[in-house]
Amino acid sequence: MLLLTCPHCGPRDETEFSCGGESHIARPSLEATDDAWADYVFFRTNPMGVTFERWRHAYGCGCWFNVARDVVNHRILATYAMTDPKPATSETAISNGLQQSAELAR
C-alpha cells in the first residue's frame, strides 16, 4: 500500500486515491493519423523503472496531481502539479529519490 502525498492534503494512504494511468500524454487533434490516434488511445510506455502517472485524491480533496514512481521498488521520486513539466528522468533525479529512501531507512 503506497503512501502518496496529495499537494493539498499531505501524505495519505493509497486507498484514498485512484490512479489515472500514465501522465504527460499529449492529446492529438482530429487530424491525427490512425496510428497517432491509436498510440494515444491504446499504447502506454510501461517501463521497468520510473513511470510518470497521474493520481486523484478521490476520497479527499479531489485534486489531480502527477507522481513519478519507480515501479520496480515503488519508490516515489517526485510529486508535482498537473501543469508542471515532466521532471528530468536523469540519474540525478533517480538517485535523489534513492537518497530520500536511504534517509527514511536510517
**Backbone region of residue 80 per phi and psi (left: phi > 0; alpha: psi in -120 to 50; beta: other values):** beta
In the complex with Zn ion, the residue whose CB is nearer, 52 or 65, is 65
Q: Does 48 bind other proteins (CB under 8 A)?
A: no
Q: How far is the CB of 25 from other proteins (least distance, A)?
A: 10
Q: How far is the CB of 4 from other proteins (least distance, A)?
A: 9
Q: Does 84 bind other proteins (CB under 8 A)?
A: no
3-state secondary structure of 11: strand
| Nearest-5° Cα angle at 60, 59 to 61 | 135
3-state secondary structure of 55: strand
Q: Which does 40 bind (CB under 5 to 8 A by kind): other proteins, Zn ion, none?
A: other proteins
Quote the CA–CA distance of 27 and 29 in Å, as a whole number. Answer: 7
Within 9-38, the residues that bind Zn ion by CB under 5 A are 9
The answer to whether 52 and 86 are in contact (CB under 8 A) is yes
Q: Does 61 bind other proteins (CB under 8 A)?
A: no
Binding site for other proteins (CB under 8 A): 1-3, 13, 20, 23, 27-30, 32, 34, 37-38, 40-41, 54, 56, 58, 62-64, 73-74, 82-83, 101, 104-106
